[in-house]
Every structure is written in C-alpha cells, then in structure tokens.
Structure 1
Amino acid sequence: MGFFDSLFGRDDRRQWHSFKRKDSDAGEAGRALEELRSSLHNELRTSDGAKRQQQRFCGPVVAMTFNFMVSVGIILGNKLVMGRVGFNFPILLTLIHYACAWILLAIFRTLSLLPVAPPSKSTPFSSLFSLGAVMAFASGLANTSLKHNSSCMHMCSVGFYQMAKIAVTPTIVIVEFILYTRKISFQKVLALLVVSVGVAVATVTDLEFNIFGACIAIAWIIPSATNKILWSNLQQQKNWTALALMWKTTPVTIFFLLALMPWLDPPGALLFKWNAQNATFIFISAFLGFLLQWSGALALGATSATSHVVLGQFKTCVIVLGGYLLFDSDPGIVSICGAIAALGGMSVYTVLNMKEPREKATIEQPPKLPSVKLKNAGEGNKDFS
C-alpha cells in the first residue's frame, strides 16, 4: 500500500473511486431508461396496451372537453366554407374530410404512431364494414339536412334539424335495448326527458322546412344513433382504440360517400372556383373534421352513446346562453328558460352516471365475514375471520 500511496495520493484514489461510482450510477440510469422505453414500446405494440394508454391519457373529462372544443371549431369552419366560400356540396365536403383523415392516419402508420388493432378474429369484418357504412350515412346526411333545412347558417333557422338531433336520444335508448338488451334507469329517463324538452324549447323557434330536407333529416336519425352505439361498443367491448378503428373504417366510409355524392350533391362541383384561399379554408375545415372524428371516438370510448348526445345538446345550450350573455343577442325568455332547464337535466344525468360505478363496486365487493371466537379448552381463545 505504501507504493500505491507514493504513486497515487489518497485524494487521487478517492477521486478515482468517485468517478467509478458516477459511471456506475450513469449506467444504471441508462439501463432504467432503456427498460422504460422498451416497456412503453411493447405497451403500444399490443391492442390491450394501446387501449390502456388511451384510457390513461384520455379519460371521460379530457375526451369530452376535447370533443366540445373541436365541435365549436367545426361549426365555425363549416359556416365559413358553406357561407363565405360558397362550397355548397355537403357530401363532397364530408368526403374531403374523411379523405384527409385517412391520409393523416396513413402518415401516423408510416411513423409507427398508429396503435395496433385487436386480432381480426375478435372483431368480424362485418362489424367494421357496418360501422364504416353507417358513418358515411350519418355524416353525409347530417350535412345535407343542415344545408336543405336552413336558408342561412344561423341557429334559429334550423329548427327541424334540431328536432331531428333531439330525436337521436330516444332512438339510442331503443336501439341499445334491441341490440344489447341494455336498460336505463327511470331517473335517467326523466333527466333525458327534461334535457330534450329544454333543448327543444331553447332552439326550435319555428319548423319551416322543405320536403326533401325533412326526409333527409328523418333518414339521418337511425344512422346517427347506430353510429354512436357501434363506436362506443367496439371500443369498450372489443379493446379497439379510436385511431385504430378510424384506420379500419375510413376506407369503407369514403366508398359509400362516393356512392352518395351523385344522388345528394347538386351538380357543378368541378366548376367550383378552386383558388388558393378557398382551398385553404376547405382543408382547414377538413383538418377540424379529422379532429372532430377523433375526439368524438375518444368521447364515445370513454363514456357512452347517450352521454355523447347529451354533450352535443350541452354545446347547443352554451351557444344560446353565451350569445345572450356575451353578444347581447335576444333569443327570448322562453328559449333562455329552456336552455337553463336543459342544463339542469344534464347536471342530474351526470350525477346519476357518476353514482352508477360506485353502486356497482359496492354490490360486487364481497361482504366482510364477522370474526368468530372459538373457545378451546387446551389453547384458549382464537380469533378467526
């Protein structure tokens, strides 16, 4: 040791050992980081793991807030496109939305950002095909009905379209009972009834419509309800994520929109003035359409079809009350009372939804067995539970 002490001082040896410890700590940190990255990659490479990540980062509050904000944006975007730009081809506009969504999803897939889909055996192709077809009718007919039931794009002029939207709520309850024998409590029925009546009073000031637009609105009700139910069921029961389900169903939707376009769109799409400004507004609307589809799918996967409809009606009430409070619009005292009543019904519905999981957890929890004392002459008292 004297030789080493003479060759290296004690301070040098301490410094040498501290360097070794730092290298060891850095190596352990690097290994831990590599293990975390590997586990995260493996988590996203399986459908179960991707579903867990979606549930972790996009719970009900986040998903519904995201969907609410995008919904307001797409309303403004479509008003701009159909009003100022003059693009009066609702099916073609919907087709552009889904085509741009599919291109974005293809980019995600190329960059390995698209979650893995569940095994094909778990979900028959007929279910995915049905969802894609229903989605085309729900989205295309909604835009077509709105165009034909309003001479302008103001909320007060689309009364019949609002009535059709309100009719989606009982349709969902009936279809879910027929397809899945899913029942709804009497308290929820009363809350939904208050919501529907309140929204009707708040928004339906007249029922002026043309025959073609009325037929389109009525035909839209069942596809819209079925679309929401299938999106919610496939995500909650079959472990699908929103993006993976969009990737599988969007090509089918595009095919059916191409088939609907000659029947429902007016002629003259090729003669539209495709300058840089108009194209920019249309593609901004298309990007918002992608966000709307994604956020809607996240909300349906995190909640239910009925809750998603209630969210849409909440947006309508916020627009009515926000216009009155912020922009000095005068919808009338009856409309204001209807919006307030609808918000009250939504609050009750939300409370009932929050109570359900707790009640189920309480019912499923096994009861505690009482402790029993047994007297044993040789060993004394023993406590068994």
Structure 2
Amino acid sequence: MGEGQGFQLGTVGALSLSVISSVSIVICNKALISTLGFTFATTLTSWHLLVTFCSLHVALWMKLFEHKPFDSRAVMGFGVLNGISIGLLNLSLGFNSVGFYQMTKLAIIPCTVLLETLFFSKQFSKKVRFALTILLLGVGIATVTDLQLNLMGSILSLFAIITTCVAQIMTNTIQKKFKVSSTQLLYQSCPYQALILFIVGPFLDALLTNQNVFAFKYTPQVLVFIILSCLISVSVNFSTFLVIGKTSPVTYQVLGHLKTCLVLAFGYVLLHDPFSWRNILGILIAVVGMVLYSYFCTRDAQPKPIESSTQFSQSNESENDPLISVENGTNVSNESSPQKPAVWNSDKDLHA
C-alpha cells in the first residue's frame, strides 16, 4: 500500500530470488564438479562474473537501468577486494578439511557483527545476538564434521573471513553513500572481480586440483552445464548485491545459512546424499534461529510509543506532538535508552 509496504515486498522478492538462484547454482555446480569432473571452481567463478557483466551491459544498452558513474577508486578497490575474498575462500576450502571450512563460513557472522559494532557504531540487541547464536549452533551441528587444523589453512581462513566481511559491508555502505542501486554497483565492479579471478583462477585451480583447466576435455554435456551455471550466476550475483543493499551483511549471511540447509535437504531428496539425524537436528535448530532472528529484528524495528508529557500547559498541544520519526531502514533499538526510539538508522537488518 505505502512506501514501507513496497520496500518490504521488494526485500522479500530479493530474498526469494537469492535463495532460489543460489540453491539452483549449487545443485548445477555439484553435478558439474562431482559428476562431470570439472573441478576448476575459481576459473568458473571468473566466467560467472564475465557473463554477468555482459548481461548487464546488454540490459544497459536496452535502457533497463541507468549507468551512474561514481568514485572510480572506490569501485576498483571494492571489485579487487571481492575477487580476492572469493579466491581466499576457495584456497581455504583447498587447504582445510570440509569441517574447518564450514567453521570458517560460520565465523563470518560474528566477525561482521564485531566489525559493524566497532567501526559503524551499529548496535545489535541481546535477543538478536541470541537468535544468531542459535542459528550458528544449528548450522554447526548440521554441517561441521571433521576439524583438522593446519597453520597454512588457518591463516588462509582468517584472511578469507576478514576480506569477505569487509567486502560485504562495503557492498552495503557504498550503495548508501553514493546512492547507487545494486545493479549499478554490480555493473561497475564486475570487470575488476572478473579480471582478478580470470588471471589467478587457472593457477589457483592447478594448485588445488593438480589439473590444467585448459587441458580439460570439454564434452558437450560439460559445456551445457557450464553455460547453465553461468546463466544462473547472473541471478545469483544480482540478488547478492540486492539483498545486502536492501538489508545488511548480517542478514545476507543468515540467508546464506538458510541456503546451506536447503542444499542439504535437496541433496538428500534429489541426489540421495547421505543424511543423518544429526543433519536433521541441526537444520531444525538453524530454522528456529532464523525464525527468532526475523521475529526479533522485525519487532525491534517497530517504533516504540512514548508517553508525552501533558503537564506543560493547560492546552491540548500534546496531541500534536511529533514523537518519533523512524525511517523504514531502522532495525535495532537501543535497549539502554528507553526514553527514545532507535537513534541510529541501521542497514535494514530486520526486514528479512
């Protein structure tokens, strides 16, 4: 009906698009890597970004969105950082056990919360932090199995966590600071991300797989799945920027763990992957954490009524007193100061 309702519908649409496209590309890539033996993840990601840029360029030519240039150094730094974070995550997976890699992904949420609290003075209520703890516990039970530590893998994971958190926070802050849409930011940063991964991808893949991406036998079936993966990636990349811009990096990470649970469930149903009661218990706990997170965030986003003083004069001026003016983006209230509503305008964590 109003602007707020339109914003919420847009956010729900962005979240739904992100979930559907991400689960689809995981299933497609799993078939490509596990069944067809194409294990060159970093190079494949560079192709994803290249196809995304070409698709957006066509959309720009068709005037589906407006090109809005802004600080070129910010765009270049952001694009390079995003490319580095993807490469570090792939290296972390290559040098660590699957269980430790899952712990690395889980650590992104508390690290993001810490960085936003320290550098952006963003406040997360105790109930929101409790919900995030439940979520991380559930995902940990469902996905973390073996934890094999090694020095190189731990260092790579640490850098992967930091660069990923900073890149996702920048995705949100750049859109707000320069007043650009997710499409405009993605269009301008894609070439830098693609270039970084296109250059380092074959070397990283050779290091991790002991195979040469250029010597791989590209059968028609492999080519079909590569093309399908690249087409789906356009939606994945677009929805990632859209979700972070409309909500926040923390909400995007929460959504990412929902995708993990859905991938586990779809893998069991469609691909007959091994599944245990531990997986089921972990997924159920994670879902409870996600529901609590959405509930607490939505409740904290509501402006709290404040009793106005009626003892200033004998007139009825209190009826016209403008008590609170809270933007749609407000998400976490300041519990320590009940005299006024959420003072800071957050990054919209709470419309998830």
Percent identity for Structure 1 against Structure 2: 28
Look up the match of 1:248. Answer: 188
Look up the match of 1:160. Answer: 100
Give 1:299 shift.
0.9
Matched-pair contact (CA < 8 Å) for 1:91–1:144: no
Matched-pair contact (CA < 8 Å) for 2:27–2:263: no
Give 1:250 shift.
0.9
Matched-pair contact (CA < 8 Å) for 2:42–2:202: no
Look up the match of 1:231. Answer: 171
Which SS does the other structure have where 1:359 is aligned? coil
Q: In 2 relative to 1, CA 323–95 (structure 1 residues): closer, same or farther, beyond 3 Å?
A: closer
Look up the match of 1:268. Answer: 212
Letter of the aligned partner of 1:204 in structure 2? V
Which SS does the other structure have where 1:183 is aligned? coil
Look up the match of 1:64. Answer: 15
Q: Which structure 2 residues correspond to residues 1-385 of structure 1 after superposition, within 5 A?
A: 59-117=10-68, 120=70, 124-146=71-93, 149=96, 158-208=98-148, 215-261=155-201, 263-266=203-206, 268-320=212-264, 331-359=275-303, 362=305, 367=308
Give 1:212 shift.
5.8
Mark the structure with the bigger radius of gyration. 1
Give 1:103 shift.
0.9
Letter of the aligned partner of 2:132 in structure 1? L
Greater percentage in helix = 1
Matched-pair contact (CA < 8 Å) for 1:195–1:345: yes
User: Whole-Å Cα distance in 2 between the matches of residues 63 and 354 of structure 1?
Assistant: 17
Give 1:86 shift.
2.0
Matched-pair contact (CA < 8 Å) for 2:202–2:212: no
Q: In 2 relative to 1, CA 179–195 (structure 1 residues): closer, same or farther, beyond 3 Å?
A: same
User: Whole-Å Cα distance in 2 between the matches of residues 343 and 295 of structure 1?
Assistant: 22
| Count of aligned residue pairs for this structure pair | 310
Which SS does the other structure have where 1:226 is aligned? helix
Matched-pair contact (CA < 8 Å) for 1:90–1:143: yes
Matched-pair contact (CA < 8 Å) for 2:243–2:252: yes
C-alpha distance after superposition, 1:69-103 (max 9, x if no partner)? 11101111111222233222222111111111111
Give 1:225 shift.
1.3
Look up the match of 2:337. Answer: none
Can you give the 5+ residue segments of structure 2 that lack an aligned partner in the other structure?
320-352
Give 1:238 shift.
3.2
Give 1:241 shift.
0.8
C-alpha distance after superposition, 1:192-236 (max 9, x if no partner)? 112112211121122257776555444321121112111122224
Q: In 2 relative to 1, CA 372–313 (structure 1 residues): closer, same or farther, beyond 3 Å?
A: same
Superposition TM-score, scaled by structure 2 size: 0.77
Instruction: Tell me the C-alpha RMSD between the 2 structures.
Output: 3.1
Give 1:325 shift.
7.8
Can you give the 5+ residue segments of structure 1 that lack an aligned partner in the other structure?
1-51, 151-157, 375-382
Letter of the aligned partner of 1:132 in structure 2? G
User: Whole-Å Cα distance in 1 between the matches of residues 61 and 28 of structure 2?
Assistant: 29
User: Whole-Å Cα distance in 2 between the matches of residues 178 and 83 of structure 1?
Assistant: 41
User: Whole-Å Cα distance in 1 between the matches of residues 151 and 116 of structure 2?
Assistant: 30
C-alpha distance after superposition, 1:164-185 (max 9, x if no partner)? 1101011101221233122222
Q: In 2 relative to 1, CA 202–275 (structure 1 residues): closer, same or farther, beyond 3 Å?
A: closer
Which SS does the other structure have where 2:37 is aligned? coil
Letter of the aligned partner of 1:177 in structure 2? T
Letter of the aligned partner of 1:248 in structure 2? Q
User: Whole-Å Cα distance in 2 between the matches of residues 226 and 58 of structure 1?
Assistant: 28
Superposition TM-score, scaled by structure 1 size: 0.71
Give 1:186 shift.
1.9
Give 1:116 shift.
3.6
Greater shift, 235-244 or 210-219, is seen at 210-219
User: Whole-Å Cα distance in 2 between the matches of residues 233 and 337 of structure 1?
Assistant: 36
Instruction: Report which structure shows greater RCO (CA 8 Å, sep ≥6).
Output: 2
Letter of the aligned partner of 2:88 in structure 1? L
